[in-house]
Amino acid sequence: MKKALLYKELKKTKRVWMIVFLLGITLLFYLCLKAGRSFRLVGMEHLWDVVVNRDQFIFRDLKFFPLLAGVCIGLAQYVPEMVQKRIKLTLHLPLKERTIVLLMLAQGLLSLLLLFAAQIGGVLIYTAIYFSAEFIYSTLITMVPWYLAGFTSYLFVAMICIEPTWKRRIFNAVLATGTIQLVFISSFPGAYSQIIKWIILIPVFVMPFTFLSISRFKEGEQE
């Protein structure tokens, strides 16, 4: 039964996942080509000066990709559940309610993890060729909050879609906007390095609220 549920969730998101994956790889490839062109035109010394001394981040165009990926995967997974009333049938499976929700969330989060791992891996491989270990570390610390925002946006989309009352949906959307905006306040490289451990906790704290939305839906709350 668990395998069947996971397969159902995978089937809903497979096409969107492939599109987002190709867009992510294409964007990364473009940024690498753009950086390579800069290497040839101005030389490594000038580019190093721009990156290190002027705090310019060469992968800044990836900033909002994880956020959009989380939203797209979340919408693809949960909108059909609500529009076509599938969630009622899903919750009547011979599994505990908590197990069903965890499996649904796990499938979406794992899909995002694969997307993000591929993109981060490509960035790290590319930077390892041209830059020092210190720059690689700075790049990783700068990008991690963006990808955590991707996981957080997915969880908020799940919460908003499943929530049965419009008043709470609007409240959750406002809460999502304020929460996610926290990691986009500064574009300075490594700006969140001192509080990264707290940013990691954001999606952990957001996840349980999805269970509250499911409980209200199951109890038949409407507005």
Domain ranges of the chain: 2-218
Name which of 206, 106, 104, 218 is nearest 155 in CA terms: 206
- Residue 68: predicted pLDDT: 95
CA distance 2 to 21: 26
SS3 109: helix
Q: Average pLDDT of the chain? A: 83
pLDDT at 223 over 60: no
Quick: pLDDT tens for 105-158: 999 999 999 999 999 999 999 888 877 787 788 788 888 999 999 999 999 999
pLDDT at 22 over 80: yes
pTM > 0.75: yes
For 79, other C-beta atoms within 10 Å of its C-beta total: 13
Return the exposure string of 8-31: e unless at least 16 CB atoms fall within 10 Å of the residue's CB, then b: ebeebbeebbeebbeebeeebeeb
CA atoms in the 13 A half-sphere facing the CB of 138: 19
What pLDDT band is residue 86 in, cutting at 50, 70 and 90? low
